[in-house]
Amino acid sequence: MADALVAEQVRKRYGDTTALDGVSLSVDAGEVFALIGPNGAGKTTLVRALTGTTTPDEGRVRVHGDDPAAVDRSRIGLLPQSFDPPSRLTARELLRYYAGLYDETRAVDDVLDEVGLADADDTWYENLSGGQQRRVCVGATLVNDPDVLFLDEPTTGIDPAGRRALWSLVEDLAAGGTTVFLTTHYMAEAEHLADRVGLLADGDLVAVGGPRALVAEHGGRSRLVVETDAPADAVADGFAVEETDAGLVFDGIDPADIGDVVAALEDRDVAYESLAWTEPDLEDVYLRLTGDEVGAATASVGQPVPVGGER
């Protein structure tokens, strides 16, 4: 499959700050590629380099084989993190305005329907909810039917139902051959949408791969969290146990082993409030490779799975 996007040893500095430090990657045509990482890691700078809105100090980038500055702009769609269209235009008027910038466009009604705004099409932008405003912004990137779509934090401020609707839209676009490059702080979003994920930290691309492959390589083992005040040495030998603020964490526990842990607790008369089994996910990869605990805590929308519950 042909490469839609290529970055080769891209470096970019702002004064004494290195935003990108030799980043190389390629994205296939029709692929959904998610870029994750802490604030300040260089994600937006890489998007700007790939779209031709900033020039790397070193290295090169290509969009469908050409320098981004030479690519027909109708082939690229870009939703930046900060996008502030005229507030006294309706959703329909805004999409018509952006459609007017191109020679050939999609039907505005179709785009409004796809982003879930068919019933709010005549509402001024300033009177839309934050989530609806973000959907208008997404719609503005789709009117030219781009070959490559860049979405920088596309679901920020969108409620869970709206987020799921946009996920479905991205999936449909990719199925139709659109290449999607997105940045996100939602680990569940990256896991759900991306064919591959790149993790950027301090300007370096520290890991790239499918979500499951990254979890298998970097996520660690499944674990059982026991809510108790008992110390780790109160449990029988044979388990890898760590004392944490949440209680005792048993590392490397598969579902079939939970009964053995419960029996060990009962044998030692260890009182506990609850048990929660978790398997590693993309948030664990993020934590292990970046150490950004605060960022990962706010990024994840997942929760531990109570024993006996469903994931």
Residue, of 231 and 307, whose pLDDT is higher: 231
Q: Is 305 helix (H, G, I), strand (E, B) or coil?
A: strand
Q: How much is the average pLDDT of 34-56?
A: 93
For position 278, what pLDDT does the model report? 86
Note the maximum CA span of the chain: 75
Its pTM stands at 0.82
**Nearest Cα residue to 40 out of 74, 17, 15, 9:** 17
For position 292, what pLDDT does the model report? 64
**CATH superfamily, region 3-216:** P-loop containing nucleotide triphosphate hydrolases (3.40.50.300)
- In 121-195, DSSP assigns E strands to 148-152, 179-183
Whether the CB-CB separation of 226 and 250 falls below 8 Å is answered with yes
pLDDT greater than 60 at residue 303: no
Structure tokens that stand for 157 in this block? 């401020």
Q: Which residues of 275-296 are buried (b: 16+ CB within 10 A; e: fewer)?
A: bbbbbbbbbbbbbebbebeebb
Whether the CB-CB separation of 9 and 24 falls below 8 Å is answered with yes
How far apart are the C-alpha atoms of 171 and 194, rounded to whole Å? 9
Q: How much is the average pLDDT of 152-163?
A: 85
Under the banding of pLDDT at 50, 70 and 90, the label for residue 205 is: very high
Under the banding of pLDDT at 50, 70 and 90, the label for residue 2 is: confident
Under the banding of pLDDT at 50, 70 and 90, the label for residue 81 is: confident
What are the Cα distances from residue 111, in Å, to 31, 91, 92, 167, 251? 21, 11, 10, 15, 48
CA-based Rg of the chain, rounded to a whole angstrom?
23
Of the chain, the end-to-end C-alpha distance in Å amounts to 35
pLDDT greater than 50 at residue 83: yes
How far apart are the C-alpha atoms of 263 and 15, rounded to whole Å? 60
Domain boundaries 219-306, corresponding CATH code: 3.30.70
For position 174, what pLDDT does the model report? 92
For position 23, what pLDDT does the model report? 97
The domain spans of the chain are 3-216, 219-306
38-52, 143-157, 203-217, 235-249: range with lowest mean pLDDT: 235-249
Q: How much is the average pLDDT of 9-16?
A: 96
**Nearest Cα residue to 268 out of 238, 230, 240:** 230
